[in-house]
């Protein structure tokens, strides 16, 4: 696994990342009110929906009974399929959060992209959203795509790992060649950084109390301690037999430890793992117009390109 320390060239890019994170943090509602979950969900959905957009070449499709957004490379056969899961704390968002990025990725890499519009909590708590993600991925595998990669951001990283664990137990994990895991949440009981013991003082769009909201809405029957059940927290699962993965995270992210811990356990279980940490970058930083975000997205694209072209990735 590559070191968590960033290249020296990133030091000159930290000021820009910090400045934008501070501006974003001051404009983002971080506190989570207690006792009015419906209002919190409504406010959060409106905030996230404002970041959504619709890319011209995207199509609404139903795959295995699940609504999705799909992109095809223009004028050439696809090298494979990237099954993508959007972020949003299992409660917010849709594939259109990543429509523009997925359109660009499809064309750049020459792959089909299928982004899953999985069911959201609290209307559909665990395991509804995961069931949707697994159903779509199995459909893609059964459809004979040359190569299949899964990935996502935040909650999407969570669903990617959970989907791989389900596929492994079904004997299908070897049909997925790689996983792109960006600032995912893997411990619903709360890692130290998510509980507030952070490595950076840069403001983040997340707040430590969000973990209580996620657990309450997504897995309502579970306490903090119950949140360590591997069924809902993949950090505590047996991780053998999974494909190579790239873990991307900023050191100002409350989910920093989720990636640090999962990348270490991923590798210890015998899987290939790359860990890329970016200084002074908050949660969801890859969507921001900074030089460090550009570096992160370039590395992600290179990792995906290698996977779809059959090049050597970190060993299992």
At 59, which CATH number? Answer: 3.40.50.1820
Q: Which of 99, 204, 253, 258 is catalytic?
A: 253
Q: Is residue 293, in this structure, part of any structural domain at all?
A: yes
Q: Are 234 and 179 in contact (CB under 8 A)?
A: no
Give a yes or no: residue 71 inside a domain.
Answer: yes
The active-site residue, picked from 94, 115, 154, 200, is 154
> What's the alpha-carbon Rg for the chain, to the nearest Å?
18
Q: Is residue 1 part of a domain?
A: no
Which regions of 13-91 does DSSP assign to beta strands (E)? 59-63, 66-71, 81-85
The answer to whether the beta carbons of residues 188 and 158 sit under 8 Å apart is no
Instruction: Determine the pLDDT at residue 77.
Output: 93
Reported as a pLDDT band with limits 50, 70 and 90, residue 277 is: very high
> CA 165, 94, 48: angle at the middle one, nearest 5?
120
pLDDT confidence of residue 208: 79
pLDDT at 26: 59
Q: What is the mean pLDDT of residues 44-50?
A: 89
Query: To the nearest whole percent, how much of the chain has pLDDT over 90?
Result: 82
Q: Is 86 noted as a catalytic residue in this protein?
A: no
pLDDT in tens, 121-137: 999 999 999 999 999 99
314 lies in a domain?
no
pLDDT of residue 297 exceeding 90: yes
Catalytic annotation present for 174: no
Q: pLDDT tens, 72-89? A: 999 999 999 999 999 999
pLDDT higher at 34 or 262: 262
Q: CA 19, CA 122: separation in Å to the nearest integer?
A: 35
112: pLDDT strictly greater than 90: yes
CB 80 within 8 Å of CB 112: yes
Indicate whether 33 pLDDT > 90. no
Q: What was the pLDDT predicted at 207?
A: 81
Given the residues 84, 126, 254, 283, the one annotated as active site: 283
In this predicted structure, what is the pLDDT of residue 188? 95
Residue 221 pLDDT level (bands cut at 50, 70, 90) = confident
> Does 29 fall in a domain?
yes
Q: Is residue 227 part of a domain?
A: yes
Sheet containing 148-153, strands listed edge to edge, beginning at the edge strand earlier in sequence = 59-63, 66-71, 112-116, 81-85, 148-153, 176-182, 245-250, 273-278
Taking the C-alpha atoms of residue 53 and residue 279, their distance in angstroms, rounded to an integer, is 28
Q: What is the pLDDT of residue 27?
A: 56
**What phi and psi values does residue 247 have, to the nearest 5 degrees?**
-105, 125
Stretch among 48-57, 235-244, 268-277 having the lowest mean pLDDT:
48-57
Is 258 within a domain? yes
**In this structure, is residue 228 part of a structural domain?**
yes
Q: Is the pLDDT of residue 49 over 60?
A: yes
pLDDT, mean of residues 153-159: 98
Q: Is 200 tagged catalytic?
A: no
Buried b (16+ CB within 10 A) or exposed e, 9-44: ebeebbebbbebbbebbeeeeeebeeeebeebbeeb
**Given this model, what pLDDT does residue 231 score?**
96
- What domain range includes position 90? 8-308
Check residue 176 and give its pLDDT.
Answer: 98
Cα–Cα distance between 219 and 226 in angstroms, integer?
Answer: 10
Give the model's pLDDT for residue 268: 97
Domain count of the chain? Answer: 1
Distance CA 82, CA 179 (A): 9
């Amino acid at each position: 696994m590559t070191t968590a320390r960033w290249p020296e060239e990133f030091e000159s890019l930290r000021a820009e990342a910090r400045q934008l994170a501070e501006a974003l943090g001051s404009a983002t509602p971080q506190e989570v009110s207690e006792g009015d979950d419906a209002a919190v969900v409504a406010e959060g959905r409106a905030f996230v929906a404002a970041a959504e957009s619709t890319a011209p070449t995207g199509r609404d499709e139903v795959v295995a009974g699940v609504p999705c957004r799909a992109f095809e490379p223009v004028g050439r056969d696809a090298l494979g399929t990237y099954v993508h899961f959007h972020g949003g704390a299992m409660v917010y968002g849709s594939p259109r959060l990543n429509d523009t990025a997925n359109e660009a990725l499809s064309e750049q890499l020459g792959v089909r992209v299928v982004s899953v519009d999985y069911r959201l909590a609290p209307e559909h708590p665990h395991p509804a959203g995961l069931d949707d993600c697994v159903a779509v991925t199995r459909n893609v595998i059964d459809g004979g795509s040359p190569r299949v990669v899964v990935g996502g951001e935040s909650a999407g990283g969570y669903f990617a790992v959970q989907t791989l664990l389900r596929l492994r137990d079904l004997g299908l994990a070897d049909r997925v060649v790689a996983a792109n895991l960006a600032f995912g949440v893997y411990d619903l009981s709360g890692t130290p950084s998510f509980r507030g013991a952070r490595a950076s003082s840069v403001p983040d769009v997340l707040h430590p109390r969000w973990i209580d909201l996620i657990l309450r809405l997504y897995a309502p029957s579970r306490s903090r301690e119950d949140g360590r059940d591997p069924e809902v927290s993949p950090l505590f699962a047996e991780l053998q037999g999974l494909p190579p993965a790239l873990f991307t995270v900023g050191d100002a992210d409350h989910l920093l430890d989720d990636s640090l811990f999962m990348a270490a356990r991923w590798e210890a279980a015998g899987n290939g793992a790359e860990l890329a940490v970016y200084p002074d970058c908050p949660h969801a930083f890859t969507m921001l117009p900074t030089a460090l975000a550009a570096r992160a997205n370039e590395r992600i694209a290179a990792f995906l390109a290698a996977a779809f072209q059959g090049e050597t990735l970190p060993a299992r």
